[in-house]
């Protein structure tokens, strides 16, 4: 199983560089939501066999230009998008999605 700690850290580092006066706060549901700029939420799924990072973005999935290999689902709110980091190779398209979401918020 791949260790996604560094890939997850790259996403967090990018978010903090885009929103330097913000911080992630844990919600009652285990999501880490960026406050006060509420445009991204992270959910770490650390199961016994699968380790994933779900990234919910405040951008409608119809407006998200992502690689076809990246599955875009409904995010934590109906009008949000969600992409999932399951392998290190998912990192470049997810970083692109994060940049797109930031640019519209």
Instruction: Tell whether the model's pLDDT for residue 67 goes beyond 50.
Output: yes
Domains and CATH numbers, the chain: 5-104 (3.90.1150)
pLDDT tens digits for range 1-53: 357 888 899 999 999 999 999 999 999 988 999 999 899 999 998 777 778 99
Radius of gyration, CA atoms only, the chain: 13
Q: What is the model's pTM? A: 0.91
For residues 63 and 60, give the distance between their C-alpha atoms in angstroms, rounded to a whole number.
Answer: 5
pLDDT score of 1: 36
Residues 6+ apart with CB under 8 A from 74: 61, 80, 81, 82
pLDDT tens digits for range 80-96: 999 999 999 999 999 99
The continuous run of DSSP H or E covering 83 comes out as strand 81-85
């Amino acid at each position: 199983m791949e260790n996604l700690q560094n890939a997850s850290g790259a996403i967090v580092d990018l978010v903090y560089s885009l929103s330097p006066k913000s911080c992630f706060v844990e919600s009652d549901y285990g999501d880490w939501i960026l406050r006060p700029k509420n445009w991204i939420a992270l959910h770490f799924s650390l199961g016994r066999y699968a380790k994933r990072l779900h990234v919910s973005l405040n951008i409608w999935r119809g407006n998200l230009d992502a690689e076809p290999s990246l599955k875009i689902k409904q995010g934590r709110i109906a009008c949000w998008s969600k992409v999932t980091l399951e392998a290190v190779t998912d990192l470049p398209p997810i970083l692109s999605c994060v940049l797109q979401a930031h640019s519209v918020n």
